[in-house]
Structure 1
Amino acid sequence: MALFGKAGAAISSRTLRTYRQGIARYLDFAQVRAVSLLRPSRDSGALYIRTLEAEGLAPSTVQVHLAAARAFYKALRWAGVTDSDPLADLSPAPDNTAPWDKRQPYRDDELLCLLGYAGLRDRVLILLCAHGGLRISEAVALKWSDVQLSAAQMTVTGKGRKVRNVHLSASLKNELLLLNEQTQPGGQEPVIGATQTAARQRLRRLCQESGVRYLGWHAMRHYAGTRLTRQTGNLEHAARHLGHSSLETTRIYAKWADDALNEALEGW
């Protein structure tokens, strides 16, 4: 994938891990169902899709597994060991749940509650995601050399090694100043210094202590996009802040930021 994939050498370790897991799942399916890898039957691809759906996997998860299986057969065809493409022109059942109904951002009161229970380092991590709009992978990879406190901005390397400059909110800048004074770090030291797994465990524990529902770190990024869209009414501002290459990706925040329907129904 690093050689022929769209991302090339910039492909992330997380993507590679996801594809390895997806291929392993397809190999398990082939073994259980006695599907020949090199000469699969014409209905084996459809059977694999229905098997995944029957397991109750979300449509997006099914799509990820299919992408891995397609990459596997693309590699086999490149190696010249088969001409088969059992998943060609196949797609899973459509997802009838709107994106804005599946993934919700944290509410203002929930974020304030989490910040009230968090220590300094966790407050910085929360604000990197909830104010800076960083993905958790971006937040834990951030180094002090990426942060320009005097200019109130940071340089973030995101998906596909894309680099963007992110403005610091006043709250985030203040917490970063406190952490910097407390730790006296070197330029190449990480701001947070944790793995993504450890960060998720810390957030889950913090949610349990505070009584806030656990939505994961990405809901912090959703919070940033939603709040910025509500405050400015401008999707382009949110897209630039979050590093979205397309406004279509950002459009979901307009749904979450629109309180008009709820406000109208409250008076009924």
Structure 2
Amino acid sequence: MTLDLYRQGQLAPSREWVNLNPEERRRRAVAAVAGKDVATLLDLLEAHHVRTHGHVSKETLRKYRLGGRTWLEYAQSHAVKVLHPEVEHADLWVRELEASGKSPASVGVLLAGARALYSALRWAKATTDHPFTDVKPRKDKRRPWDKRQPYPEGDVGKLLAAAPVEMRVLLRLGGIAGLRASEITGLKWGDVDLEGGTLTVRNGKGGKTRRVLLSSSLVADLRELGPQKEEVAVIGRTPEAARGRLRTLCKQQGIPYLGLHALRHTAGTRLVRAGFQLQDVAEHLGHSDVQTARTYGKWADDRLKEHLRGL
């Protein structure tokens, strides 16, 4: 593992944790806990996670930091000893998250961040505790395809008709190209080949790079929007901002907001409905497991629905 990752870009603030001698690292971690210095502890979490996993996307780091922050805020408000919490407190935190209405998937994301925090604290030798080892969110009883609900075609058409060009590009990057939120906002003009009709996703989920074919409608919208200098972001801002813009557009058009990620499910459903094999769908969307694409078939297959309507 090279330390180059810590010497540039967004990771520069974390490099000092790696360069510290073990005793100083421990001292700073313990002092941060004692001083309730959440920002320092989250920097420790980030530095350790990147150190052990290599490249990590901004979105992944954001989620891990959110999980760590949420647990630390709970610990502070409930007088929990952060370095040596009782397992019961870890259980109660998860139950409280569930009671607040968070889905099992959302709770799982926050739990992963809390686990990453304690992995970092153990690396710093500030504790030896594993408070979240046996803590699990409530089992999700929803069927896999119910968690990947796409936007109906009519709703997508209505959104496109009402959207300015930049928003149309966002809608089509998600609903046709199948990009994730962080991939949409991280896309640069230098990664778009309008003549070849492709774009390159860099540092996607798991740090992977993939090439994605573009539709003629997306190429047309991209031409209208740009192109600009290679280093300029096509959409830019943050995934949260992109979600907010889509939420606002849905509200304006009277369309239920299903989330930005639901556009990706729309893309997958369209491909399955068009007759493409699951392997093709998985490659287009960047799934590591072809079985993940299988759930789109449940939304794409309308034969049973049409049959029952006729009875």
Tell me whether the two structures share a fold, i.e. TM-score over 0.5. Answer: yes
- Kept in 1: contact 2:189–2:230 (CA 8 A): yes
Query: Which residue number in structure 1 is paired with residue 114 of structure 2?
Result: 69
- Greater helix share, 1 or 2? 2
| Counterpart among 146, 166, 178 of residue 224 in structure 2 | 178
Q: Which deviates further from its counterpart, 126-135 or 29-38? A: 29-38
- Kept in 1: contact 2:49–2:116 (CA 8 A): no
**Distance of aligned partners of 1:237 and 1:85 in 2 relative to their CA distance in 1, 3 Å threshold:** same
* Structure 2 residue 174 is matched with structure 1 residue 145: no
Query: Which residue number in structure 2 is paired with residue 56 of structure 1?
Result: 101
Letter in 2 for 1:23: G
- Kept in 2: contact 1:2–1:9 (CA 8 A): no
Q: Which deviates further from its counterpart, 123-132 or 187-196? A: 187-196
Kindly state the Cα deviation for residue 258 of structure 1 after the two structures are TM-superposed: 1.7
Kindly state the Cα deviation for residue 56 of structure 1 after the two structures are TM-superposed: 2.5
1:84-163 paired onto structure 2 within 5 Å: 84-157=129-202, 158-163=204-209
Query: Which residue number in structure 2 is paired with residue 165 of structure 1?
Result: 211
Kindly state the Cα deviation for residue 209 of structure 1 after the two structures are TM-superposed: 2.7
Distance 1:226 1:32 in 2: 44
Letter in 2 for 1:185: Q
Any idea what the Cα deviations from partners look like across 1:124-174, whole Å, max 9, x if unmatched? 221111111112221222222211122111111122331111111121122
Q: Which deviates further from its counterpart, 228-237 or 202-211? A: 202-211
Distance 2:48 2:128 in 1: 21
Any idea what the Cα deviations from partners look like across 1:199-228, whole Å, max 9, x if unmatched? 233222322332222222211111110000
* Structure 2 residue 127 is matched with structure 1 residue 82: yes
Query: Which residue number in structure 2 is paired with residue 224 of structure 1?
Result: 267
Distance 2:53 2:125 in 1: 22
**Distance of aligned partners of 1:264 and 1:187 in 2 relative to their CA distance in 1, 3 Å threshold:** same
**Distance of aligned partners of 1:139 and 1:76 in 2 relative to their CA distance in 1, 3 Å threshold:** closer
Distance 1:61 1:188 in 2: 33
Any idea what the Cα deviations from partners look like across 1:11-41, whole Å, max 9, x if unmatched? 1233223222222222233234333223333
Distance 2:303 2:157 in 1: 24
**Alignment length (residue pairs):** 265
Greater RCO between the two (CA within 8 Å, min separation 6)? 1
Kindly state the Cα deviation for residue 5 of structure 1 after the two structures are TM-superposed: 5.1
Distance 1:139 1:86 in 2: 36
Query: Which residue number in structure 2 is paired with residue 237 of structure 1?
Result: 280
Letter in 2 for 1:77: R
RMSD, matched Cα? 2.2
Distance 1:97 1:128 in 2: 27
Q: Which runs of 5+ in 1 are unaligned?
A: none
TM-score, normalised by the number of residues in structure 2 = 0.77
Q: Which runs of 5+ in 2 are unaligned?
A: 1-45
